[in-house]
Structure 1
């Protein structure tokens, strides 16, 4: 089953992440829905993709763009007639924490291995062109970035700090491929989910004062759930374990007198049809 995109609260706190590289032009692999297990992820990406290893926890992965800002061009009659569209260069900087032959090649721009196993730094560095895959994971949700072609070489220097893990910063300049510069997914759930929007069957009672607790019945009333009374949001929403009942506190509207509104519910899977309700302020 295809992954499900979050339609509400599509936010991400990337607690863990993985970076893979492959020969340039390598197609984007089909990833498992649950990618919290690195072993499963490695099996899914295939033999063409190699893990880049550990990256910095403190510095993360930095996305940057370089280029001139857009300028507003105008005439005497129209000061804001049009804007320029200057080109942009996008980069992704990785702080590599594994000191291996492969990471040395990325940082130093090539190189060979001596007979004793030491890495020989090349006299003339040359960036390497790779395909790159970045997977940022937040519990059971994640974001996937795929770049068909990036140019990789070291950027800033390496510091041996006795109080921190040493890192080799490598900058990947996005070159673009056959389909734009790259692909990035929306926030996805790490499991297959059947899209079942909530339904609203009854609102009991149909009239109540602000601060009163009323009950809603329906199907797929799963948290996080928002109950709308027209433009006003209900409070103290409590859903039942089976997702068939909800209790909610009637909000206090700005208008005076009785206010006729339409009640609906909304969660990650969509929103329900509306039911009439009156906020009684008499």
Structure 2
């Protein structure tokens, strides 16, 4: 049965029910309106895409529908999103990277700049960049894990150090850090592995301890620990508007501890 036939048959049933008094006319009017409402597709010309991006960068105009529209525009939005990565605002770069990740493989032209974002001074930007690269099909963690076995000391050291900078997104590298880098013959590599494990473990604890809907404090952390202070600080802070986007709020839990999730329609 086609969608048109289904709507027609549904409307006929409702009209019959209305005639029998089973439903009232306001209900009928609402149902007929729904049946006649076409699905709204986002406009994806250059001007509209720029407007979506601009409004995501303006607090008072921020709406999830703009983010969803960019993702729906798919590859058409990629050039403008790549340009937007040059913005100096940290939260806006995170939003831009998240959109590219949600677009997926069609965002492949953004891989060079996303790879560059792995060296961003913001850890949140780095974590989001790793996640986006994974969604696009360019997992940066895997080659770094392999690099831990390199014969070149400098390569092993840089790989261990980089993994620590990826936080929660490098959690799958923990076994390799424990079995390989931590036992490295070079004290420099071993030290980098210790720091990486500390960073990753802290990120995992914070990520898993924050219940974004209920927790008032981190009950699994020591009150004297840096982790506990970080969790409490995040829980008491106002979450940035970008946290309303599930792709961001679900990943950056330490940045978005208390946030009301919205659906794909921006509600």
Q: Give TM-score scaled by structure 1 length.
A: 0.22
Larger of the two Rg values belongs to structure? 1
Bigger fraction of residues in helix: 2
Bigger fraction of residues in strand: 1
Q: Give TM-score scaled by structure 2 length.
A: 0.23
Query: Taking CA–CA contacts closer than 8 Å with sequence separation of 6 or more, which of the two structures ends up with the larger relative contact order?
Result: 1
